[in-house]
Structure 1
């Protein structure tokens, strides 16, 4: 596993409610252990409410909003899943612009589970191979992406590295791949 992010600041984008907790906390811990500085970004300040599938989990403090910061402040972006999280984020133009900015600046992005929904909205999947929770297969294909059923997919087609995974069971492979992408 990549082990030296050397103080790189990594954005984790999450909606005020609905992020799958383990898809936030485990990559967050991996970034910290590798020497990175994770920052929680949301559409509003305060705290977000995470979920353990359908049950409320812990709350987490937001470091900045999408209106107060941008891709230039970060070395990479992690998009945790949960059904409600990316479904909400893809309806907020400033959140979509925030995500699109990482692609415009050729910065690495990692998305797990349902998170590719916001990638679709940011017009960032066309011509790329990626994976997700299986229910997004048609959405990704309709957006011009190639959906692959693998634990982790690292796609270098396009301006940046895109790391995607299917679900919480894939987190160890997801963490290893995102750390490698962020360390480059």
Structure 2
């Protein structure tokens, strides 16, 4: 299983990238770091700079296409999805996973990117609580749950609220991409 992890050049919550990344690796999958720019991304531990990670592919180099991937993971962090939702190629990349019926998993503030891609209408999801109104205004149903797996739509959507929920998020993600 080849899983795209879409992040902006700066602002990703590090644990929301590294924890699911390691879970995918441990399950025998291939995580691929996709960003809007080449080079490295700067991760954060809340508001403090953390580690840098090398970008494997850019959205542009992929033609904003989900071709060759089995699923998409959208890590959070406040600045990360805020940047992604203003990048038309990144938004098109996210939308292509939905158009192809591939699983998508988003944690914390990453739901902002889903809202921008117009893929939450008639879906149930969770996120960091401050996004509840944004999700409702986009036609989705927001729930306060550790993890939510929504199957109402063309694909499975796994969402979670915050880093404390990562164990449940990782388990739900792996169940959807591995079928076990």
* Same fold, TM-score > 0.5, yes or no: yes
Q: Which category describes the TM-score, using the shorter chain as reference length?
A: over 0.9
The residue aligned with 1:72 is 67
1:73 Cα deviation (Å)? 1.7
Within a 5 Å distance, the mapping from 1:32-181 to structure 2 comes to 32-69=25-62, 70-181=65-176
SS at 1:172's partner residue? helix
Within a 5 Å distance, the mapping from 1:7-22 to structure 2 comes to 8-22=1-15
SS at 2:80's partner residue? helix
1:183 Cα deviation (Å)? 1.1
- TM-score normalised according to structure 2 size: 0.98
Please tell me the root mean square deviation across aligned C-alpha atoms, in Å.
Answer: 0.4
- TM-score normalised according to structure 1 size: 0.96
**Count of aligned residue pairs for this structure pair:** 177
Work out the CA distance in 1 between the residues paired with 2:142 and 2:2. 29
Runs (5+) with no aligned partner, structure 1: 1-7
1:86 Cα deviation (Å)? 0.2
Work out the CA distance in 1 between the residues paired with 2:106 and 2:174. 13
Work out the CA distance in 2 between the residues paired with 1:111 and 1:94. 18
Runs (5+) with no aligned partner, structure 2: none
1:79 Cα deviation (Å)? 0.1
Q: Post-superposition, which runs of at least 4 consecutive aligned residues in structure 1 deviate over 2 A?
A: none
CA deviation vs aligned residue, 1:34-86 (integer Å, no higher than 9, x gap):
01000000000000000000000000000000011120120000000000000
Work out the CA distance in 2 between the residues paired with 1:77 and 1:140. 19
1:99 Cα deviation (Å)? 0.2
